[in-house]
Structure 1
Amino acid sequence: MRSRFASPKLMLLLLHMSLYWFSTQPALELPASKIVDVPLAQTGEGIAECELLKWYVQEGDYVEDFQPLCEVQSDKATIEITSRYKGKISNILYVPGDIVKVGETLLKILVDESTFPSGIPCDSENAKSPDTDQTLVNESVFTTVIDDSDNGKLIDSDPGKGRQTGVSSTPAVRSLAKQHGIDITEICGTGKDGRILKEDVLNFSVKKGIIKNPSTVLQSDSGEQLQGAEGYNCNVATKSYRPSEDRTLPLRGFQRAMVKSMSLAAKVPHFHYVDEINCDALVELKTSFQKNNPYPDVKYTFLPILIKSLSMALSKYPFMNSCFKEDALEVILKGSHNVGIAMATSHGLVVPNIKNVQSLSIMEITKELARLQQLASNNKLTSEDICGGTITLSNIGAIGGKFGSPLINLPEVSIIAVGRIQKVPRFADNGNVYPASLVNVNIGADHRVLDGATVARFCNEWKQLIENPELLTLHLK
């Protein structure tokens, strides 16, 4: 009797079942994709938040490892945030102009699990460890289901996570809502899957009486990408407005930093010492440098000579180049002369510093100053350029003005404002009148560390070097 398993039909059926099993099994073992939260990392010591300046990517873009994602600005520098992953941009949570706290999620990237770095917990692992300190988790991972029936729509397994729960919209739409002071979570979206469109924001604005004609807003925004809220800038002339109009502008970037630093500086007991310095010899020296300049790309100014002579005076009076630790009642005498130069830029006041001036020549100071000025004008200064200053020089005379009463740039203990060089009449010892090139200097000092006699003696030393620049050669090392 022939076995029933030898039936050709049965064997064919078993073969088809086997083929089906082997053809579907690899699909079940395909690595699942994951949504990775990309947070704002710590960009420097003591920095708690940054302003988002611009995005280099948009939702739907594919990014590579170390590809720039966005540019942010702290109160110290401008930083590029790069991607640690290769994948697709799933969701952008902030728009340019937003203030983002360190650790908050900037955007989400869809990453293939096969390329996902090990050791970073996913949702299920987090659920098993409820006691995990969430403040130490820099990147949270969310499993994503890909629904083939809906063109690969991404379904976040944790939709409640994010800055705006349950809201689906583009950064441009969120920026538009922010411009009109609207909470976007109150708007019902008419787009696919409840996505909020620009028209939804405008219609909501009309209902609330915020705007009257949405078409004018649509026309003004056509073809333009919204770049976030307008910020305050005291160095740029603004458009003329009717006197009756009040405008509220948020402080951004370096302006926010100035609020903090000057508020702290105002609590320090200051005193100011004012003197005038004859710059006749300095003018002649600068003219000679420029006339016999072997470097056509280098432009000589008075400032590098002032900086070098300042460093030489600091060597004799080290307390001027110190910082004060109030909690320990200690003064730290700084070994390096890192001279900060106050610069007014279109982005606000910034104070980069020239490192180790005591070891630099006037030519090297000139080149470093030009480098910092170029970076400052392009808003590209790094934290290294800004941090570590030991004394500050503010050349207000480059803009105008005879005097200035500067506030200390903490934790430094002294700051110097230099006015405009003026040609004024002066009397010689024999009574004759002669023209003199004079500049006024105003030294602001921390009276907890420095006294008037120390500042006066320091200024006399600096003044002697400026009025007799040939003395600089005696102290060069």
Structure 2
Amino acid sequence: MSNFEIKIPELGDFKDVEVIEILVKAGDQIEKDQSLVMLETDKATMEVPATQAGELVSLSVKLGDKVNAGDVVGKIVAKPVSQVESSENKTTPPAQETTTIITPTSIPVSPNNYISHASPSIRKLARELWVDLTHVSGSGVKGRITDRDLKGFVKSIVQNDGIKNALPEIAHDDYSSYGDVEERTLSRIQKISGPRLHASWVNIPHVTQFDEAEMTTINRLREEHKDNGNKITPVAFIIKAVTRVLKDFPVFRSSLLESDKKLIVKNYYNIGFAVDTPNGLMVPVIKATDKLSLVQISTEIIRLSDLARQGELKKDDMSGSVFTISSLGGIGGTAFTPIINAPEVAIIGLSRSYVKPVFDGKSDWIPTETIPYSLSYDHRVIDGAEGARFIVSLSEAIKDDATYK
């Protein structure tokens, strides 16, 4: 058997974080990723998960203790392989009760990927049941949502005919009867992002508008920077232009609180950008783009993209965005309809640039590189006229030298 230390994970800038809940005790059989203790900072709660399955032989912290990143707080003895296989081969007898399936239209879904005051197991169950935990009242310590709270909420929905208009499940054939098939497991990122994208699509009335912008200014400035030894990615220019336009259209950097029927307008400019990685799509965030130069933004794009592809992004690297840009320009295509990165209310999708003739207003047609883009937005918050004004302003900003100074 192998012994594994339980260490407090990275806590960012927080120190002396308080232990507010002990979820296990010595002698318990622990599964990998099971939460062991809950910590609380002045901003949020967080769990310390087990990195190994086995028996918990010791836990040295108690309620109220202060801990820091790297502190050893317990020890787990790993399960023997035979024991793990034995537990995995156990079968559970079928339940006798009738199971009611709750689907997305039954219960509102929260787009947030972090719910305070609920353990990972509760959050996991809530996602499976398509429950927005912001609608559930917690009866636990400090308002924590318990298993009983969640199941009681679901029961009340069912009893109130909350599933009458549920979407039908997709029927699947026995595909192997038609030919050879193979089964592939979704990546961890796909397992996480899939439900979030589905929740965004189901809960947000998307509208997408399309436009094009001239790349003449961007191409000229890229060459000037290149002569000075700086290679600037085109996305850096778009981020700069989007930041400028967001200052004039604050509703595009807001989030809708449906329960309170309020908009939260964010007076900061953190821009997310989608990165294609071997394991799936990730969205790192560049902070305070209104205070960064083109070179600084381009440097951040390269740095965060490398971390994303290496699977080394931290939570802070993917948090706090007010607007997202998704670029397929390096691959191809003329247009697409990006899904909003909820709880944001809008997203830009960049397609591959191309050269087209543009009339100079006199007598000549000038070959001009143009980038097509798509703006998807939440129609509950943004109407068509406002969307049109936004893309007109963005197209003007992209070709304006003043945007990049």
Give the structure-2-normalised TM-score.
Answer: 0.62
Larger Rg: 1
Q: CA deviation at 1:108?
A: 3.8
Q: 2:272 aligns with which of 340, 355, 366?
A: 340
**2:60 corresponding residue in structure 1:** 117
C-alpha distance in structure 1 between counterparts of 2:345 and 2:61, whole Å: 49
In the other structure, the counterpart of 1:55 is none
1:400: how far off? 1.4
- Structure 2 matches for 1:278-289, cutoff 5 A? 278-289=214-225
Q: Which runs of 5+ in 2 are unaligned?
A: 11-27, 37-48, 64-72, 92-175
1:219-249: CA deviation from partner (whole Å, max 9, x where unpaired) = xxxxxxxxxxxxxxxxxxxxxx9x8222222
The one-letter code matched in structure 2 to 1:299 is K
Q: In the TM superposition, what is the alpha-carbon distance from 1:369 to its structure 2 partner?
A: 1.2
d(CA) in 2 for partners of 1:454, 1:393? 19
- Determine the C-alpha separation between the residues in 2 that align with 1:92 and 1:333: 43
Distance 1:370 1:435, change over 3 A: same
Change (3 A) 1:449 1:246: same
2: CA distance, partners of 1:118 / 1:258: 34
Contact 1:414 1:446 in 2 (8 A): yes
Aligned partner of 1:117: which letter? Answer: S
Which residue in 2 is equivalent to 1:427? Answer: 359
How has the CA–CA distance of structure 1 residues 67 and 258 changed in structure 2, closer, same or farther, with 3 Å as cutoff?
Answer: closer
Cα deviation, 1:326-350, whole Å, max 9, x if unaligned, reads 1111111111111110111001111
Worse overlay, 434-443 or 358-367 = 358-367
- 2:196 pairs with 1:291: no
CA distance in 2, matches of 1:457, 1:291: 36
**Structure 1 partner of 2:53:** 107
Q: 1:119 to 1:463 in 2, by over 3 A?
A: closer
* 1:376-387 → structure 2 map (5 Å cutoff): 376-387=308-319
Partner of 1:363: 295
The AA in structure 2 aligned to 1:272 is T
Task: Tell me how far 1:65 sits from its aligned partner.
Answer: 7.2
* Matches of 2:224 and 2:339, distance apart in 1: 35
Residue 346 of structure 2 contacts residue 375 of structure 2 at CA under 8 Å; is this kept in 1?
yes
How far apart are 1:404 and its partner, in Å? 1.2
User: 1:265 maps to what in 2?
Assistant: 200
Contact 1:342 1:394 (8 Å CA) reproduced: yes
Alpha-carbon deviation of 1:119? 4.2
The one-letter code of the counterpart of 1:250 is T
- Paired residue for 2:369, among 426, 434, 437? 437
* One-letter identity of the residue aligned with 2:339: L
SS, match of residue 397 in structure 1:
coil
Give the secondary structure class of the aligned counterpart of 2:243: helix
Distance of aligned partners of 1:245 and 1:312 in 2 relative to their CA distance in 1, 3 Å threshold: same
Q: How does 1:312-331 map to 2 (within 5 A)?
A: 312-331=244-263
Partner of 1:21: none
Cα deviation 1:271-297 (Å, max 9, x = unaligned) = 11111111111111111111212xxxx
What letter corresponds to residue 394 of structure 1 in structure 2? S
Deviation at 1:185, TM superposition (A): 3.9
Paired-residue identity, %:
27
Contact 2:345 2:377 in 1 (8 A): yes
Give the match's secondary structure for 2:343. Answer: coil
Distance 1:292 1:418 in 2: 27
Q: In the TM superposition, what is the alpha-carbon distance from 1:445 to its structure 2 partner?
A: 0.6
The aligned counterpart of 1:461 is 393
Does the 8 Å contact 2:272/2:323 carry over to 1? yes
C-alpha root-mean-square deviation of aligned residues, in Å? 3.4
Shift of 1:425: 2.3
Q: Cα gap change, 1:312/1:66 in structure 2, threshold over 3 Å: closer, same or farther?
A: same
Q: State the one-letter code of the partner of 2:81.
A: S
Structure 2 Cα separation of the partners of residues 380 and 289 of structure 1? 30
Equivalent residue number for residue 150 of structure 1: none
Equivalent pairs counted in the alignment come to 281
CA deviations on 1:406-461 (whole Å, 9 max, x unpaired) are: 11110000000011111222333224222100011110010000011212222222
2:370 partner SS: strand
Q: Give the letter for the 1:184 counterpart.
A: N
Instruction: In structure 1, give the amino acid aligned to 2:89.
Output: I
**Alignment partner of 1:271: what SS?**
strand
Tell me if 1:169 matches 2:169. no
| Alignment partner of 1:450 out of 365, 368, 382 | 382
1:449 alignment partner, SS class:
coil
1:363 partner amino acid: V
Matched, 1:409 2:341: yes
1:255 to 156, 168, 190: 190
Change (3 A) 1:429 1:285: same
Q: Which ranges of structure 1 fall in alignment gaps of 5 or more residues?
A: 1-58, 72-89, 95-99, 121-138, 143-153, 155-161, 187-240
Which SS does the other structure have where 1:266 is aligned? helix
Query: What is the deviation of 1:168?
Result: 5.0
User: SS in structure 2 opposite 1:358?
Assistant: helix
Cα distance in 2 for partners of 1:301, 1:119 equals 51
In 2, the alpha carbon distance for the partners of 1:119 and 1:285 equals: 59
Note if contact 2:328-2:352 (Cα within 8 Å) is conserved in structure 1: yes
CA distance in 1, matches of 2:359, 2:391: 23
CA distance in 1, matches of 2:61, 2:250: 52
Q: Is the 8 A contact 1:396 1:404 kept in 2?
A: no
Q: Say which SS state the counterpart of residue 329 (structure 2) adopts.
A: helix
Structure 2 vs 1, CA of residues 65 and 402 (structure 1 numbering), >3 Å: closer, same or farther? same
User: Are 1:184 and 2:89 an aligned pair?
Assistant: yes
Aligned in 2, Cα 1:63/1:324: closer, same or farther, shift over 3 Å? Answer: same
Are the equivalent residues in 2 in contact too, given 1:351–1:386 (CA < 8 A)?
yes
Contact 2:333 2:351 survives alignment (8 Å): yes
Give the aligned partner of residue 208 of structure 1. Answer: none
Query: Displacement of 1:302 after TM fit?
Result: 1.0
Q: How much does 1:403 deviate?
A: 0.7
